[in-house]
Amino acid sequence: MLTRQDELLDKLYRDGLISDQQFSEIKLSMASSGQNAEELLLAKEIVDPEKLVEAKAAVYGLAYLNLSNKKIGEEVINLFPVEVADNYKIICIDKEGATISVGITDPDNFKAFEAVNFLVKKQGLQVKYYLVSKNSFQQAYKQYKNFSKEISEAVQAKEEEEQADSTERAEDKEKFEEVVESAPVAKIVSVVIRHAVEGGASDIHIEPLNKEARVRYRIDGVLKTTLILPKNIYRAVVARIKVLANLKLDETRIPQDGRIRQVVNGKEVDFRVSILPVIGEEKVVMRVLDVTKGAPTLEDLGFSEPGLGVIKKNIQKTNKMLLVTGPTGSGKSTTLYSILNMVNKEGVNISTLEDPVEYFLPGVNQSQIKPEIGYTFAAGLRSFLRQDPDIIMVGEIRDMETAELAIHASLTGHLVLSTMHTNDAFGAIPRLLDMKVEPFLLGSTLNTVVAQRLARKICRYCKIEEELPPEVWDEVRQELGKIPKELLAKRMPDYNPDKLHFYKGKGCPRCGNTGYAGRVAVVEVIDVNDPIRDIVIERPTALKLEDIKASQEFISIKQDGIIKVLQGATTMEEVFRVMRD
């Protein structure tokens, strides 16, 4: 007997939205993994999410509606309380006479239908249901109260409190703590945190200016101001964050670090909090860590051949060392997590030293360093060697001691994964030599070096072709001309230097009118094979990039970025931005 998920897969196939091969692969994955067709199709990005929901609506006999650009009247949306809408993921979207239109996200959630029936029964209304995607529901749900309105109401309430009792609170510590715990201040912090998570921000910056304070979110690697706060409530907001992170309220002279864990929209989210004294005030930066999501695969991140093959080959070795390099925020840790997922099997013991722990991996022993009590990368690595590990992940090699211990671990039968701050993969070798690692040890242990940057991906909903200046075309042709023809043909079978196509996002509601949504890794991978190993051991200072190109199939990080541009993943503007160094 066919399930609804089988019917959905069949319909997508009949409508030409998935190929024969994709149909067979999803069927096989459904049987082996226990996931349903919808989860697999979304995870692999095979079908547009809206097209998928439209097909699902047909299977369930429901009408379909995209709410992304739907403006809902205040009197209509408030027919359902905001708490009910959030809990059951239902929303009232229209009303004509005695009939209301209701958007639902899960047609199998009978409690949602019961909630709607209960709400409309008292009012004698008829209901017409529409199936909507989770993304478009979130877009519509924001219309209950927009960000600015929520904050404005909380700020206004806070100012009214201050007017009622302004003299005592400035001097009385107990009164100040009451202010910190008061509903308006707690509301402001809660809304700032919730909107950061909903907007996909990786960091929240709350910082004082001359006459006001601002809140900025880092989304897809770029900071953007989202809110201006009155200066008079700034200290209360900082204090509220300190309370949540268990930090000292009365300590304003030195930096403080803490952690907050909150449930936002039904999922656990960690926030790594850093408080820094600045002139006259304190600045807050909160790193957003969604601990519920799993690490993506290397393919999902944007890795491709020949580098992908080098990594897969070298992580099969039982010892040696793999390094991922790049500046802060370039996705090095996420790449390491992806590699750990590939080697995470019952027969191996994996231990990690991290700062902070960004993903939780079942079956992996993850440890958070605490430098303030002497538990550093070096100290932790010494202890790890007594824990009988097969694979060790060290968050970062920062100093000579950690480098020596990592080399020693890889010499004694362990696969060591770590990161470094260098501009390219080639730069990791002289950097380790600067840390006094002996050339013969380095040549004997290092087997792979990855360098990467994160470029913003073009929003697939508003992607259009664009024209670029002739000098950009010339630079693209020149750079790709350095790649051997056989290798370029593997990456770009249809490459024609006379017919180049460039793309951009024109901006739409789904990407916040930026033209970008998500990020893709731009990478280069060096295989430290026998010819390179011999040079490192015998004459390390003589090693040149030409030696690497002569010994293996190699595509530089810039060339990889240009290929991804021509494949429509990102823009030349983004490649130039991330390659500034």
Is the confidence at residue 149, as pLDDT, over 70?
Answer: no
Question: Dihedral through CA 401, CA 404, CA 408, CA 410, nearest 10?
Answer: 110
Q: What is the mean pLDDT of the chain?
A: 87
Give the pLDDT score at 553: 92
**Interatomic CA distance for residues 321 and 339, integer angstroms:** 13
pLDDT tier, 27 (very low <50, low <70, confident <90, very high otherwise): confident
Identify the CATH assignment for 298-578 out of 3.40.50.720, 3.40.50.300, 3.40.1410.10, 3.40.50.970: 3.40.50.300
Which listed CATH number (3.30.300.180, 3.30.450.90, 3.30.420.10, 1.20.1440.130) goes with 145-289?
3.30.450.90
Listing DSSP states for 510-539 in one string gives GGTTSSEEEEEEEEEEEE--HHHHHHHHH-
Give mean pLDDT, residues 176-205. 80
- Domains 4-142 and 145-289 equal at CATH topology level: no
Contact 290, 267 (CB under 8 A): yes
Tens-digit pLDDT profile for residues 539-571: 888 888 899 999 999 999 999 999 999 999 999
* 270-297: average pLDDT: 87
- Tell me, what's the pLDDT at 183? 65
Long-range contacts of 243-251 (CB under 8 A, 24+ apart): 243/180, 243/181, 244/189, 244/273, 245/271, 245/273, 247/273, 247/275, 249/177, 249/180, 250/173
Q: Which residues, in sequence order, are CB contacts of 314 under 8 Å at separation 6+? A: 320, 322, 447, 448, 527
| Percent of the chain surpassing pLDDT 70 | 93
CA distance 382 to 409: 9
Q: d(Cα 49, Cα 519) in Å, to the nearest integer?
A: 18
pLDDT at residue 150 in the model: 64
pLDDT classification of 524: cutoffs 50, 70, 90:
very high
Cβ count near 252 (within 10 Å)? 16
Mean pLDDT score, 78-95? 86
Instruction: Show me where the domains of the chain are located.
Output: 4-142, 145-289, 298-578
**Among 111-115, 447-451, 532-536, where is mean pLDDT lowest?**
111-115
- How do residues 7-23 score in pLDDT, each as one tens digit? 998 989 899 988 888 88
Please say if the pLDDT value at position 522 is more than 90.
Answer: yes
Q: In whole angstroms, how far apart are CA 319 and each of 76, 336, 378, 562?
A: 63, 16, 19, 34
d(Cα 17, Cα 9) in Å, to the nearest integer?
Answer: 10
pLDDT-derived band at 455 (thresholds 50, 70, 90) equals very high
Collapsing DSSP states into helix, strand and coil, what is residue 383? helix
Q: How confident is the model at residue 168 (pLDDT cuts 50, 70, 90)?
A: very low
pLDDT grade for 581, boundaries at 50, 70 and 90: low
Residue 170, pLDDT > 50, answer no
pTM of the model: 0.73
DSSP labels, 419-431: EE--SSSTTHHHH
- What confidence category does residue 530 fall into, taking pLDDT thresholds of 50, 70 and 90? very high
Higher pLDDT, 419 or 29: 419
pLDDT, tens digit, 9 for 90 and up, residues 393-444? 999 998 899 999 999 999 888 999 999 998 889 999 999 999 999 999 999 9
Q: How many CA atoms lie within 13 A of 220 on its CB side?
A: 18
What percentage of the chain carries pLDDT values higher than 90?
Answer: 42
Q: Under CATH, which architecture does the 4-142 domain have?
A: 2-Layer Sandwich (3.30)
Collapsing DSSP states into helix, strand and coil, what is residue 307? Answer: helix
Using the predicted structure, report yes or no on whether residue 525 has a pLDDT greater than 90.
yes
CB 323 within 8 A of CB 336: no
Q: If you search the block for the tokens 């249809």, which residue do you land on? A: 494
Q: Is the pLDDT of residue 580 over 80?
A: no
The closest alpha carbon to 260, from 218, 217, 289, 283, belongs to 289
The residue whose two tokens read 């380095």 is 442
Question: Taking residues 237-244, what's their average pLDDT?
Answer: 92
Pairwise CA distance, residues 314 & 177, whole Å: 56
Sign of CA pseudo-dihedral 396, 398, 401, 403: positive
* pLDDT tens-digit series, residues 353-376: 988 787 888 889 999 888 888 898
Rg, the chain, Cα only: 27
Band (pLDDT 50/70/90 cuts) for residue 177 is: low
For residue 159, pLDDT beyond 70:
no
pLDDT at 182 over 80: no
pLDDT (0 to 100) of residue 169: 45
Mean pLDDT of 257-266: 86
Q: Is 393 in contact with 326 (CB distance < 8 Å)?
A: no
Confidence of residue 179 (pLDDT cuts 50, 70, 90): low
Residue 167 pLDDT > 60: no
